[in-house]
Amino acid sequence: MKNKIWVGTNWKMTKTIREGLSYTEELISIAENISSNIELFIIPSYTALVPIKKLTSNSRVHIGSQNMHWEDQGAFTGEISPKMLDEIGVNIIELGHSERRQYYNENDEDINKKVHSGLKYGMKPLVCIGENIEQKANGISKEMLAAQLKVCLKDLTEEQAQQVMIAYEPVWAIGESGIPADATYVSEIHQFLREQLMNLFGDAGSAVPLLYGGSVNFDNFIEYIDIEDVNGLFIGRSAWNTESFEKILHRLDEHLFA
Ligand code: PGA
């Protein structure tokens, strides 16, 4: 039995303001018929954050940003600060997505600084972790994941840890060339992650939502959400048009909360 789950999508670099607004209008009306046990979030492009925040301000759709610097201000060309995102009213900060790690060298130490800064402003960090295919082949997935968790969440109090969400996204399962993971594998890893969180934060570790992501689609999401330690879904391509996202949301709602 799950009381509450988180379901959301990161748009990556796919939608203009205009496209984002029409998507969001549709999602807001879809959300009216979805149980409140499902916490919905979207993570638009930076340019769309302000108009989308305005549009969603009276709805239950949470808004996230795809990255953030840890400093409030300074000579960091091209970056955006927690103070700026807080001014917009952003609720969630996505950190450490595999594309950011791979193309922009984002590392666990930086993510840790960003987690602390985001929390200072009352924003919820959504920390993405995942092993790549070589690490999986070498049998070191768990070691990698344990290290990512430990460093990304370094020096958090138990109370702070409960404000964080983790998305487990195996790098080899993400995107066009991704291979959907076996539910048994996801179950084993999520159980392991829960143990690690409890080692780090005691009972507070059991309150940290663990989302699963990577090629989640209409045909496989039930298998993933039925796993005990999966507390939500982080969906890319299958949620980028509202029709496909709506199908998933209705089926999910029916499956878990009807
Ligand atoms: P995907 O993306 O669902 O399109 O594989 C997941 C992600 O990158 O978070």
pLDDT at 1 (0 to 100):
79
pLDDT at position 219 over 90: yes
Q: Tell me if residue 50 falls in helix, strand or coil.
A: helix
Tens-place pLDDT, residues 46-59: 999 999 999 999 99
pLDDT bucket at 208, cuts 50 / 70 / 90: very high
Residue 97 annotated as catalytic? yes
**Type of residue numbered 179:** I
pLDDT band, very low/low/confident/very high, at 258 (cuts 50, 70, 90):
confident
**Which 3 state secondary structure label does DSSP give 209?**
coil
Where do runs of H (alpha helix) occur along the chain? Answer: 17-31, 46-56, 82-88, 98-104, 108-120, 133-137, 141-152, 158-161, 183-201, 221-225, 242-257
Residue 99 alpha carbon, nearest atom of ligand 1: 8
User: What gap in Å lies between CA 5 and CA 230, rounded to an integer?
Assistant: 9
For 63-90, b/e burial (b = at least 16 CB within 10 A) is bbbbbbbbeeeeeeeeebbbebbbebeb
> Which pLDDT band, with edges at 50, 70 and 90, does 224 fall under?
very high
Statement: residue 63 has pLDDT above 90: yes
**How far is it, in rounded angstroms, from Cα 14 to Cα 1?**
35
Q: What integer pLDDT is reported at residue 154 of this predicted model?
A: 98
**How far is the CA of 219 from the CAs of 78, 118, 225, in angstroms?**
39, 35, 12
Q: Which atom of ligand 1 is nearest to the CA of 167?
A: 9
Model pLDDT, residue 125: 98
Q: Which domains does the chain have, with CATH numbers?
A: 5-257 (3.20.20.70)
Given ligand 1 and candidates 43, 103, 234, which is best to mutate, with the most ligand atoms within 8 Å of its CB? 234
Write phi, then psi, for 88 (nearest 5 degrees): -75, -25
Burial class (CB in 10 A: 0-12, 13-18, 19+), 216: buried
Model pTM? 0.97
Q: Cα–Cα–Cα angle for 198, 127, 89, nearest 5°?
A: 120
Active site residue 143: no
Percent of the chain with pLDDT over 90: 98
- 106-156 pLDDT, tens digit per residue, is 999 999 999 999 999 999 999 999 999 999 999 999 999 999 999 999 999
pLDDT at 195 over 90: yes
d(CA 78, CA 72): 14
Residue nearest to atom 7 of ligand 1 (CA): 236
Task: Please list every protein residue whose CB sits less than 6 Å from any atom of ligand 1.
Answer: 10, 169, 174-175, 178, 213-216, 234-238
* DSSP letter assigned to residue 173: G
Residue 173 alpha carbon to ligand 1 centre in Å: 8
Average predicted confidence (pLDDT) for the chain: 97
